[in-house]
Amino acid sequence: MENKIVKVPFVNMEANYKEIQEELDIAYHRVMRSSSYILGQEVEAFESEFANYSETKYCVGVGNGLDALHLILRAMGIGSEDEVIVPAHTYIATWLAVSYAGAKPIPVEPDEQTYNINTTLIEAAITKRTKAILAVHLYGQPADMDAIQEIARRHNLKVIEDAAQAHGARYKGKRVGSLGDAAGFSFYPTKNLGAIGDGGAITTNDADLAEKLRMLRNYGSRVKYENEIQGFNTRLDEMQAAFLRVKLSKLDDWNNRRVNVANQYLESLTEYTHLTLPTIPSWAEPVWHLFVIRHSDRLNIEKHLHNNGIGTLVHYPIPPHLSGAYAGNNWDVGSFPVTEKISQEILSIPMSFHMTYEEVQTVIKNLIEAI
Ligand X SMILES: *Cc1c(COP(=O)(O)O)cnc(C)c1O
Which C-beta is closer to ligand X: that of 87 or that of 231? 87
By CB neighbour count within 10 A (0-12 exposed, 13-18 middle, 19+ buried), where does 183 fall? buried
Which C-beta is closer to ligand X: that of 67 or that of 359? 67
Least distance in angstroms from the C-beta of 90 to ligand X: 6
Q: Contact between 162 and ligand X (CB under 6 A)?
A: yes
Vertex 272: Cα angle to 269 and 273 (nearest 5):
120
Which C-beta is closer to ligand X: that of 236 or that of 293? 236
Q: Contact between 148 and ligand X (CB under 6 A)?
A: no
Which of 326, 320, 324 has its CA nearest to residue 339? 320
Answer positive or negative: Cα dihedral of 91, 93, 97, 98.
Answer: positive
Q: What are phi and psi of 89, to 5 degrees?
A: -100, 100
* Sequence-ordered alpha helix ranges (H) in 36-194: 41-53, 65-75, 93-100, 145-155
- Mark the segment that binds ligand X (CB under 6 A) among 62-70, 243-251, 279-287, 333-341: 62-70
- Mark the segment that binds ligand X (CB under 6 A) among 160-168, 240-248, 252-260, 296-304: 160-168
Which C-beta is closer to ligand X: that of 86 or that of 209? 86
Which C-beta is closer to ligand X: that of 85 or that of 370? 85
Which of 237, 188, 244 has its CA nearest to residue 20? 244
Q: Contact between 165 and ligand X (CB under 6 A)?
A: yes
Q: Contact between 351 and ligand X (CB under 6 A)?
A: no
Alpha carbon distances (Å) from 365 to 12, 233, 264, 270: 20, 49, 12, 14
Task: Answer yes or no: are the C-beta atoms of 184 and 162 closer than 8 Å.
Answer: yes
Q: Contact between 111 and ligand X (CB under 6 A)?
A: no
Q: Contact between 140 and ligand X (CB under 6 A)?
A: no
Q: What are phi and psi of 369, to 5 degrees?
A: -60, -35
Least distance in angstroms from the C-beta of 239 to ligand X: 16
CA distance 138 to 291: 11
Q: Contact between 308 and ligand X (CB under 6 A)?
A: no
| Interface map 64-103 toward ligand X (x if CB under 6 A) | xxx-----------------------xx-xx---------
Least distance in angstroms from the C-beta of 369 to ligand X: 31
Cα 344 to its chain centre, rounded Å, is 21
Which C-beta is closer to ligand X: that of 91 or that of 291? 91
Among 106, 108, 132, 164, binds ligand X (CB under 6 A): 164
Q: Contact between 145 and ligand X (CB under 6 A)?
A: no
Q: Contact between 234 and ligand X (CB under 6 A)?
A: no
Vertex 83: Cα angle to 171 and 73 (nearest 5):
60
Q: Contact between 136 and ligand X (CB under 6 A)?
A: yes
Alpha carbon distances (Å) from 237 to 132, 196, 197, 216: 29, 11, 10, 16
Q: Contact between 350 and ligand X (CB under 6 A)?
A: no
CA distance 58 to 179: 13
Which C-beta is closer to ligand X: that of 144 or that of 162? 162
Q: Report the site for ligand X in 182-221 (rule: CB under 6 A).
A: 186, 188, 198, 200
Which C-beta is closer to ligand X: that of 184 or that of 350? 184
Task: Give 43's contacts (C-beta < 8 A, 6+ positions apart).
Answer: 61, 235, 236, 237, 238, 241
Strands ordered across the beta sheet of 182-186: 58-62, 200-204, 182-186, 158-162, 130-136, 83-87, 104-108
Q: Contact between 161 and ligand X (CB under 6 A)?
A: no
Least distance in angstroms from the C-beta of 296 to ligand X: 25
Q: Contact between 287 and ligand X (CB under 6 A)?
A: no
Q: Is 131 helix (H, G, I), strand (E, B) or coil?
A: strand
Give contact residues for ligand X (rule: CB under 6 A). 64-66, 90-91, 93-94, 136, 162, 164-165, 186, 188, 198, 200
